[in-house]
Chains A and B, each alone.
Chain A
Amino acid sequence: MSMCSKWITAAFAGAMALSAQDVPFDPHSSIEIKLPPDSPVALLSTNVRDSGATPRGGAMVIDLHMALSLRNSDSRTIRGITLLVTAQEVTAGGKASVAVPSLNVAPGQAFPVRIDLRLLRPLQAGAGPLVQVSLDGVLFEGLDFYGPNRLNSRRSMTVWEMEAERDRKYFKSVLASSGPEGLQREMLNSLARQDERPHIDVRMSRGGRSVTSVGEPERMARFAFLKMPGSPVEAIDGWAEVAGNEARTPTIQVLNRSSRPVRYVEIGWIVKDRQGREFLAGSVPAAEGDLLLPPGQTGRVLQDTALRFSRNAGEPVPIGGMTGFVSHVEFADGRVWVPRREALSAVMAPSPEEQRLADLYRTKGVGAVVEELRKY
């Protein structure tokens, strides 16, 4: 090889080595955590170990693993917290939240919240932090709330807390009537139900636009409805445009059967495939501020989205039928209704509290669940 060729080879190898190097990345400066001055939680520490960035082609993949340690600086016990996560530079319209319900954090106690994010953005980045984390709300014992509530976390956390109270009451009654063995049976049943629930992948786009070309003729499919005993609102009619494994723009008519005005209702949405297997696809919520339903009046709940269902890494799940049920209702005075436990069917998701207690049983046994129930 001539000297000239050697130089060129060396220069080429050098250039390749430079292009493969990781770019410098400081996770601490990439994250901004903002808590209001009168926040009932204080940030004790932030651990971003295991975070990193890797260039890929013309883009950068950033893995941010944040372990926050927060302290309850209020005089009330915390039952839930919701943090708002935004990355404006990455997705202009996208935002995310991380909520931890079913907490039992006494004043002065510390508790962890973990946020794990992966961002894909162009190599050239703007100045300033990449991710902003702020407080959306804190729910206290007695359903008191603090926070800007931009994501309506007050309602979500109130629903989770009411479901938690309902389920703890049920498990306590089982413990009282059948002892630890009865509670163990309940936990085993719950774990079995959770394992048997079909796992479906969902792809969603806004505006009712198709998320794929399904190639099947579109039809208008009607909802069947499950009666929920004691529900202040009844779903009376509903439909969605269905084509193959895609459903668009579900619309549901509801009637307020209670004596109080209703400002929000959410309809659970069960989809049945053509083999008759049912899975919980999600829910159809009323648009914020759109619904104020006086007693005896009907209203319409509409979701302007397109959903596509698949399983086993992309195998389409053709929609054979749809069932709706009233999953929760918020009255104009802010109070919330949730279904009774006996009205829930196996296809419906367990409450976060039931999920937590069943997992506690799985990892630590029935004694830990008994001890946990005694704390409430």
Chain B
Amino acid sequence: MTKHPSEANLALYAGGELSRWRRWSVERHVAECAACRDAIAQFSALREQTRAMAELPDVDWDSLAAEMRANIRLGLEAGECVAERSSPQHLGFSLRGVAACASLAMLLVVSFLIERPAPRVAELKTDEAAVIETSGSGIQVKEGGRAMMLLNARARTVEYQASGSAMGARYVDSDTGQVTINNVYVQ
């Protein structure tokens, strides 16, 4: 078996971001290495989750941009007023300083809008069909921007099976020695 690729290369492979030569080299290795296959599966699952989480709330960018322009204009005008009355030595409230203040204030507004609990998120893509998928870590049902995943914690090997409207994962729990059968259903 060839040498294990680095974690960075496995992560890039999972995202389809390796060069053709590196990709070929990693493919050759993972064909024989279950551990690296698992690592890639985990990176892919993580990538999927990150993608789902990265979706931003609906922000009205046009009105936000207009508001930002208006605030910057206001800042510049205020700066001009101050500049007329001040001597050139008073750099604390210079035009550049006010413009910088306005930009930072805008940055705060944008970061607050992105981070704050936005009620609209609750309506994210609810018209999307629910999809169930398996990954190295469990079975996930996704619906719009929401997801529920039953994790295969403490499993050595997992048997996945689709049956009707359900996807099942069966494994032996390494803590209890019990067989656990997880099923996730979609309507």
Q: Check if A2 sits within 8 Å of B185, measured CB to CB.
A: no
Q: Check if B121 sits within 8 Å of A59, measured CB to CB.
A: yes
Q: Check if A207 sits within 8 Å of B108, measured CB to CB.
A: no
Q: How many residues of B contact A (CB 8 A)?
A: 90
Contacts of A199 in B (CB 8 A): 37, 157-158, 160
- State whether A124 and B104 are in contact (beta carbons under 8 Å apart), knowing that A100-B179, A117-B151, A303-B164 are contacts in the complex: no
- State whether A102 and B179 are in contact (beta carbons under 8 Å apart), knowing that A118-B149, A201-B133 are contacts in the complex: yes
Stretch binding the partner chain, chosen from B1-9, B66-74, B166-174: B166-174
State A376–B51 Cα separation when bound (angstroms). Answer: 49
Contacts of A15 in B (CB 8 A): 108, 111-112
Contacts of B143 in A (CB 8 A): 91-94
Q: Check if B107 sits within 8 Å of A12, measured CB to CB.
A: yes
Q: Indicate with 1 or 0, residue by residue over A208-220, a CB within 8 angstroms of chain B CB atoms.
A: 0101000000000
Of residues 6 through 33 on chain B, the ones whose CB sits less than 8 Å from some CB of chain A are 13-14, 16, 27, 30-31
Q: Indicate with 1 or 0, residue by residue over B100-117, a CB within 8 angstroms of chain A CB atoms.
A: 110011011001101101
State A199–B40 Cα separation when bound (angstroms). Answer: 13
- State whether A94 and B93 are in contact (beta carbons under 8 Å apart), knowing that A19-B115, A122-B146, A124-B119 are contacts in the complex: no
- State whether A100 and B40 are in contact (beta carbons under 8 Å apart), knowing that A122-B146, A313-B13, A349-B161 are contacts in the complex: no
Contacts of B100 in A (CB 8 A): 5, 8
Q: Check if B53 sits within 8 Å of A57, measured CB to CB.
A: yes
One of A96, A122, A285 near B185 (C-beta < 8 A):
A96
One of A11, A99, A116, A123 near B151 (C-beta < 8 A):
A116
Q: Indicate with 1 or 0, residue by residue over B52-66, a CB within 8 angstroms of chain A CB atoms.
A: 111111000000000
Distance in Å: Cβ of B93 to nearest Cβ of chain A:
7
Number of contact residues on A: which range applies?
35 or more
Of residues 98 through 138 on chain A, the ones whose CB sits less than 8 Å from some CB of chain B are 98-103, 112, 114-124
Q: Check if A120 sits within 8 Å of B53, measured CB to CB.
A: yes
| Residue A336 is within 8 A (CB to CB) of chain B in the complex | no
| Residue B88 is within 8 A (CB to CB) of chain A in the complex | no
| Residue A38 is within 8 A (CB to CB) of chain B in the complex | no
Contacts of A118 in B (CB 8 A): 138, 140, 147-149, 151
Contacts of A284 in B (CB 8 A): 163-164
| Residue B118 is within 8 A (CB to CB) of chain A in the complex | yes
> Interface residues of B: mostly helix, strand, loop or mixed?
mixed
State A11–B181 Cα separation when bound (angstroms). Answer: 51
Stretch binding the partner chain, chosen from A170-178, A181-189, A252-260, A275-283: A275-283
Distance in Å: Cβ of A109 to nearest Cβ of chain B:
13
Closest to A97 in B: B183
Q: Check if A206 sits within 8 Å of B180, measured CB to CB.
A: no
State A206–B52 Cα separation when bound (angstroms). Answer: 20
Residues of A within 8 A of B (CB): 2-5, 8-9, 11-12, 15-16, 19, 55-59, 61, 65, 85, 87, 90-103, 112, 114-124, 151, 156, 160, 194-195, 197, 199-207, 209, 211, 266, 280-285, 287, 303, 305, 307, 312-314, 349, 352-353, 355-356, 359-360, 363
**6 smallest beta-carbon distances between A and B, as pairs:** A93-B187, A282-B162, A122-B121, A116-B151, A56-B53, A313-B40
Q: List 13 A-B contacts (CB under 8 A).
A: A94-B141, A98-B150, A99-B182, A100-B180, A112-B178, A201-B135, A203-B132, A204-B167, A206-B186, A283-B164, A312-B37, A313-B40, A359-B156
Supply 19 further A-B pairs (C-beta < 8 A) apart from A202-B134, A359-B172.
Answer: A2-B91, A8-B105, A58-B118, A90-B146, A90-B148, A94-B184, A103-B178, A116-B138, A116-B150, A121-B146, A122-B146, A151-B185, A160-B181, A283-B162, A283-B164, A284-B164, A305-B165, A355-B159, A356-B177
